[in-house]
Amino acid sequence: MKKNIFCALDLDFKSALSLTKQIKDHIYGIKIGSLFNQIGIEGLKEFDQLNIPIFVDSKFSDIPSTTARNISNLKELKNIKFVTIHSLSSKEMMKEAVKAAESISKKIKVLAVLITTSSTQETLTEIGIQNNLEEQVKKLAKLSHACGVHGVISPGKNYKMIRKLLGPDCYIIVPGIRSNDQKGKDDQKNTISYAEFNKMAENDDKAFCVIGRPIYQSENPLESLKKIVNR
């Protein structure tokens, strides 16, 4: 098992469940994003029964009470590891999210999305943000940390900066893992290879990465996973 890999299940329910059963002994956990909107809590229970850590990439971004209620709905599940919120919402929302998660279990950690892996300087400017990418990441990382959020999601190129900024106890999750020949071939702009991530985060038990398309789009997902981690 690779202790630092979450596999993103951007698939239909049946395919996602089948893939999880196939590779669960070779990864740390699974990430469920848009699929959560389709299957809800009842669908999550199917994955929960597989006894594998679950990363609910919900990206909650609502008023504080609604966000807290959404997180509280996860209380029936025993293998939730992470749940995500948007750091651009509000300080009060982030604090309420943490409070809701900790009321369920100290094991559930709230992660703040800083910028997405498709973000560029141009996309920030389009929505009225004048900071450059690194300044924006720093600003939101410090803000979410001050609100008690347990960790952040950010492109790999910001890993070292965030670790230095927030210290050793903050979880850092790096999405957008690609092989060198896959970089720049989809909508993910901020990507690194698994080898690059592993080198940066060596011996960091609070760092994880997310690998999706290179696994689930493969004709042989398990073999592709093995090739990624052994390069």
Catalytic residues: 59
Q: Which amino acid is at 146?
A: A
DSSP code per residue over 170-187? SEEEE--B--TTTTTSSS
Angle at 216 between CA 212 and CA 219, to 5 degrees: 145
Q: What single-letter amino acid sits at 9? A: L
- CB distance 82 to 71 below 8 Å: no
> What does the alpha-carbon distance between residue 90 and residue 142 come to, in Å, rounded to a whole number?
13
Q: How far apart are CA 75 and CA 40, in angstroms?
A: 13
Measured CA to CA in angstroms, residue 136 lies from 88, 158, 181 at distances of 10, 11, 29
Quick one: tokens of 143?
Answer: 């803000």
- Spatial CA neighbour of 60 closest among 81, 34, 86: 86
